[in-house]
Amino acid sequence: MDKLKAMSTFVAIVDQGSLSAAGDKLDRSPAAIVRTLAGLE
């Protein structure tokens, strides 16, 4: 997994306030956002 992309996804989640809003901003599905977030754990 690309750690930089995963960390930028995390920042988008925090900035947008929710997983679904981050998915909309990044043009990715909520499931893809969750998988990326889980990879950071």
pLDDT in tens, 1-41: 689 999 999 999 999 999 999 999 999 999 999 999 999 98
pLDDT value of position 1: 65
User: pTM, whole model, 2 decimals?
Assistant: 0.85
pLDDT value of position 33: 95
Residue in 2, 6, 30 with CA at minimum distance from that of residue 22: 30
CA atoms within 13 A on the CB side of 11: 6
